[in-house]
Every structure is written in C-alpha cells, then in structure tokens.
Amino acid sequence: MTDFLFGVPPRTDIGWDVETYPNVFTLVAKTVDKSRTWRFVLSPWQQELHLIRLFVETLRDQGCRMVGFNNIGFDYPVLHHIMTDRFATVDSIYQKAMSIIKGGDRFGHMVWESDWIVPQLDLYKMHHFDNRAKSVDLKVLEFNMRRERLEDLPYDPGTVLTVDQAPVLLEYNEEDVDATIEFYHKSQAELVMREALSTRFNLNMVNMSNTKIGETILVTEMEATGIRCYDYVNRKKVKRQTHRDVINLADAILPYIRFERPEFNGILEFLRNKSITETKGVFTDLNTTIDGVKYVFGTGGLHASVNDSIVRTGDRFTLVDVDVASFYPNLAIKNRYYPAHLGAQYCDAYEGVYVTRKTFDKKTPENNAYKEALNASYGNSNNEYSVLLDPLYTMTTTLGGQLSLCMLIEQLLKVPGLRIIQANTDGVTYLCPDEYLDHCRVICKWWEEVTQLELEEVLYSMMCIRDVNSYLAVDLKGKVKRIGAYAYETALENPGTRELPWHKDWSSRVIAKAAEAALVHGVDIEEFVTGHQDVYDFMLRTKVPRGSILEWGGERIPNTVRYYISTDGDYMEKVMPADGPVGEYKKANGVSQLDYLRIMQEIGNGVWDPRIHTKSKTIYDERRTRYHDPYTVRICNRLQGQTFGDINHEWYIREARKLVYPLIKSVN
C-alpha cells in the first residue's frame, strides 16, 4: 500500500532535510538521482503528519538510506520524535528542535544507530565538519560547489509564518536538499572507501571521519594481536588509558639525540630540565636562530623558513627537499615507545599496520584507510576520548621528530655554501652547492642509519616563499606544490587535495592563480587577471553570525552572501549589536560590573560620570565594519541572468601583487 502510494524505489539513497518554525514544519526528500521528490508540510492549514510517518515506514520497508547534512545531530532526532511520539504536533516538533539547538550536551538528544528507523548517512560527520577546526555549514559548501543559487533562511528563526510564507520556506527546504544531494555526489570517493571498509571490518563506518576510521582500524588490529584496549568495570566497557599529572620532558627525548652546535644544545638542555602538566601551548617562545634562519619549536612540530624569497636550482646550486617517510609512525615503531597501558606489543601491531598498508595500491580505499590508521596514533595519544591516550607518547613523538630533524640540519650546515631554506614537521629543504650534493646524500644516509628512518628526496627547480606557511615549490617535472596563500586547487577539482579541502575558504582564487602565473611562468599579473574568464574565481563569500546582520547599500541582505569586487556596486557592511545599552556612555576599563551598576543607580541613565565611564565620553552604539573599504561590491547569490562587466580587476591585481612583489624585490 505505502509503496504504491509513495513509489519509493527499493534500496535507494534518499536526500532529505527539514525546516522547523513555531507553526510550520516542512520535510523534503528526493532520490539522489532526483527522479522522485516528496514534500510534506505540517501547519495550521496543512496537516500531513500521517503521510510523513507512512513515508518513513516505506523507506524502512524498501531498505532505503536517508542522506543528510548534520541529520544525525539535528534532523533525525526531530524526525524520530515525530515517529515515536503519537501526540507529536507542530509545536512539540518545534520545541524538540529548539531543545537540540540550545542544548549543551551533544549526546543529550542523540538517537543511537541501533534505534534508527531508517539508516542514516550524514555527510557532515563523514567529512568531520563536526570538528571545530573544520566546521562549515551547507551554505559554505554551496559556494564551493559553485551553485547557481546561494540561499539563506528566508525568515528569521522563531518567526510565526503566514500561509503565504510557507511555500517560500518549502522552496528553500528543497534547495537545501538539492545542495545536499550534489555534495553527496561530490563525496563518492569518500563514501566508496567507507563502504568498502564497512564490508571488510563488518562494521558500519559510513558516518566515521577519517580520524575515527584510522583509530578503529588501529584498535581492531591491536586487539587481533591480543592487546587489551578496554576493561570491563561493572559490566561496562571502559577505555584503557594512561593519564599523567606531570611529564618530565627528559623522559620524552630519544636516546640517540646529540648535538654539537650550542644553539641546538641550548634547546636540548631547556627541554631536559622542563616538566609540564599539560601538552597544549607549552612552548610559547622556544626558538633559536642560525645563519639568519629562525627555528621555532612547538607541539605541532618544527618550523623554519627564509621569507620573501625566490630560490632556484642553477648557477652551480641544487634545491633539495627531503621528507621522512611516515615520520611519526616510524618514530614509534623504530624506537619502540608506546602508550604505557598498551605495552611493547603495540609497536609490533603498529608495524603490522604499516606493512599492511604497503600491500595496497596507493590509489585504493584500503591504502588511504591504513594511512589514516597510522596517523591516528599521534593525534589520539593526546585525545581524552581515545584508548591511545598517553601524553608522554605525544611528547616523545613531537620532540623526537623536531630534535631528529635538527640533527640532520646541524650536519648539513657543515657543508660549505649550503643554505637551509625551510624545515617543517617532517622534512628539510636546502640549497646545496652541486659539488657537495653527493656528500649531502651521504649525510642523509648517516642520519637514516642513526634514526632508522627513511628520507625521500625531491629536487625542486624553484621555490617562491612568502613565509613558512605560504609558498610555491616547483619540482623538476614542473609539478607545483602550493601552500597557504598560494593554494588554489580545490576538492571540487581533486577530491584528495590538501590545498583547499572543502572546509577551507575558496574565495577569489584568481589571486593565487595570477601570483603563480607571474612567479613561475613570468606572466604579467594585470594581463592574467583582466584576461581570466572564469567568473567563479573572482567570487568571495562571507557569513556573519545570527546576532549580526549584513547590509549592502544600506539594505539588509542574507547573513551568507556570495559577491565580487565591483566598479559599479555598493558598500557592504557588517553590523554588530552594541556591546552595551545603546545611547549610554561606555564603561571604563577596570570598572567592575558591580560598581558600574551601583553608581548607575545613583546617577541615572544618560549621565556621564568619570568614576565609571570613559574619559572620551564614548557612547554605546551598533558597530559597523565595511568590507574592502574603499571598494564597492556586488552581491550575486543568484547568478542566473547576471553579467559581470563591472568586475573591478584593480582590486584583484593589487592583491596578487602582494603575493609577488615582495619576493621579486628580494631577487633584485
């Protein structure tokens, strides 16, 4: 009956999304090939609660999977409420939604997988956007996917809608489903990997982040060798972990670490005499400078670089880059250190993962998954929710990596005429006189024997370096490595790229492209920018939080917008609420809130008092920030019918020159 009523194809992925307002609830669903669409509305004038329930039951009976964006965290708990509360109403649905949004406990409204009525695929979790450092919403992805429409909520949350507004909300709801389905198709490489691994390990991994997959594989492999990762306390499964109140960093320094130079010995002695009680932010100013290059040590790894420079192979010099193969995993494997609660057998299991990975072709899902398993160890050794937790392991890895590289750098610096160009977490780049190139390779072999690690060499034809975080590196085959401000390859073009993955800002890519064209190929910046035909590369995006608003030409616009710098546009401003009572004098720094309120009661509103107010008699008012002042912009959340003859090339040229001219000046 229900299959006939809804026409749901069996075993099909169904994209879906909901919108919740006090008096209107909408649900839109589509097959991922968009051949079928279902729209449901609950409101005072349209009651389709029974149809929603029948539809979900049909999806269950037909073996379908529901695909959403943050659906495990929000949409599905709301839908589960509809399916399990026989007295559900539009109001109770809205209250459920608000309790999820405002709730501080991310597990408080979780519906566990075993209780799902229909299996869920959550693209938000799969891409690890629930990690604060990678968090993006669907609007950002719509910008990145170059969708024709970039829509924000048509009405403020909490608005009581009219009968005429409900269809507008439904249209917006459907647009979000279309964007979700498009992102689903862009995510096929990640999904194929997870489905293959789910079959291999007999465990549903489709909603796991790469990090979680890595830890799961590593733990599975450890348990297969007999390592006990969990205890059972009162019949509950409890992670085994090693907590440390104090870490003496001398215990984290590998035994082969030796230096000759006083600069590096000073760093080593400092570390040997330091104890820490936490691992984050413990090195705020630990550095040394040798031959004009500053080496900065930190929990994230070693960083050093020449700045504002162009360095080339040629004129009797060769530009060499050496990276350590699987640096952090092999540090632990070769030096036999491990999370204390897992024992020395951990190193054998860890090495087994490394060996297994090498049996798979680099382009296979299995190879990528085992790479994540290897990388999972270091990050999770400092994760309080992981069975790998042992902060001493964390510090042994990061200090072992940095100090080991410094041993290599120290020996390379003995070579006459050699310059260190860069050092980062897992490698060193140096400019070597051709006559000493073989000697440097002997030094690298010596280092490999001491550390039992393997170096991989790449020869560069040139590097264009703004700083350690932004540079171009071109190998002898012409392949370009782009980092930071020079990056422009996106996940849309290459799903595996490390340049601009989905969570990064893809704004105004023409700037980085123009900079590369100028630095690497000698193309005039102005000629490149004015001749560039891809209008999307000129687009920028911005988003302001709900407490603020965006204005364009004095009129309010959506909180998320796509725009470009225009010769014939208008000014765009971010308007933030006042940080105090509008019209009142501002409270002076150092005045307690208690004293402020006491004296305000004494003097009354609108009166300035030197005891509590600023000397300048500044008044609280809304705060405005103009974008790209003095340039104007044009909003283009809808591209259909729009022309782009008013792109202000001057701004893009100016920004590209900032990435090029300081480097060129260093050569001249």
**pLDDT of 408-424, one tens digit each?**
999 999 999 999 999 99
Is the per-residue pLDDT at 138 higher than 50? Answer: yes
User: What pLDDT score does 5 carry?
Assistant: 64
- pLDDT band at 172, cuts 50/70/90? very high
Domain boundaries, the chain: 2-186
Bigger pLDDT: 109 vs 139: 139
Is the per-residue pLDDT at 666 higher than 80? Answer: no
- pLDDT band at 333, cuts 50/70/90? very high
Q: How far is residue 73's CA from residue 645's CA, in Å, rounded to a whole number?
A: 43
What is the percentage of the chain residues whose pLDDT exceeds 90?
81
User: What pLDDT score does 105 carry?
Assistant: 67
Is the per-residue pLDDT at 541 higher than 60? Answer: yes
Specify which residues 288 forms β-bridges with.
Answer: 295
Helix axes 49-61, 76-84, angle to 10 degrees: 110
Residue 56 near residue 119, CB atoms below 8 Å = no
Average of per-residue pLDDT across 20-31? 97
- pLDDT band at 281, cuts 50/70/90? confident
Helix axes 345-357, 327-335, angle to 10 degrees: 140
Pairing of strands 480-483, 293-297: unpaired
386 HSE (CA, 13 A, CB side): 23
Alpha helix segments (H runs only) across 336-488: 345-357, 365-380, 391-412, 437-451
* Low-confidence winner among 40-54, 272-286, 300-314 (lowest mean pLDDT): 272-286
- Three-state secondary structure call for residue 120: strand
Q: How far is residue 525's CA from residue 65's CA, in Å, rounded to a whole number?
A: 49
Per CATH, which fold does 2-186 belong to?
Nucleotidyltransferase; domain 5 (3.30.420)
* Low-confidence winner among 33-37, 89-93, 265-269, 354-358 (lowest mean pLDDT): 354-358
Tokens of 275: 């104890």
Q: How far is residue 500's CA from residue 483's CA, in Å, rounded to a whole number?
A: 9
User: What pLDDT score does 498 carry?
Assistant: 87
Bigger pLDDT: 660 vs 578: 660
Burial class (CB in 10 A: 0-12, 13-18, 19+), 237: exposed
- pLDDT band at 33, cuts 50/70/90? very high
Is the per-residue pLDDT at 547 higher than 90? Answer: no
- What's the mean pLDDT when you consider all of the chain? 93
Name 176's Cβ contacts closer than 8 Å, sequence gap at least 6: 17, 28, 69, 138, 151
- pLDDT band at 2, cuts 50/70/90? very low
Q: How far is residue 380's CA from residue 372's CA, in Å, rounded to a whole number?
A: 12
Is the per-residue pLDDT at 428 higher than 60? Answer: yes
Is the per-residue pLDDT at 509 higher than 60? Answer: yes
Is the per-residue pLDDT at 1 higher than 50? Answer: no
Is the per-residue pLDDT at 289 higher than 90? Answer: yes
Q: In degrees, to the nearest 5, what angle opens at C-alpha 189 toward C-alphas 184 and 137? A: 40
Residue 331 near residue 435, CB atoms below 8 Å = no
Residue 633 near residue 566, CB atoms below 8 Å = yes
Q: How far is residue 398's CA from residue 276's CA, in Å, rounded to a whole number?
A: 14
Burial class (CB in 10 A: 0-12, 13-18, 19+), 571: middle
Average of per-residue pLDDT across 445-464? 97
Bigger pLDDT: 604 vs 1: 604
Average of per-residue pLDDT across 391-406? 96
| Burial annotation 76-97 (CB, 10 A radius, 16+ → b, else e) | bbbbbbbbeeeebebeebbebb
Tokens of 309: 């420079």
Count of residues in the chain: 668
- pLDDT band at 106, cuts 50/70/90? low
Q: How far is residue 26's CA from residue 133's CA, in Å, rounded to a whole number?
A: 31
Is the per-residue pLDDT at 369 higher than 90? Answer: no
Is the per-residue pLDDT at 484 higher than 60? Answer: yes
Is the per-residue pLDDT at 384 higher than 70? Answer: yes
Average of per-residue pLDDT across 494-498? 85
Average of per-residue pLDDT across 455-465? 97
What residue has token string 């002997």?
442
Average of per-residue pLDDT across 428-451? 97
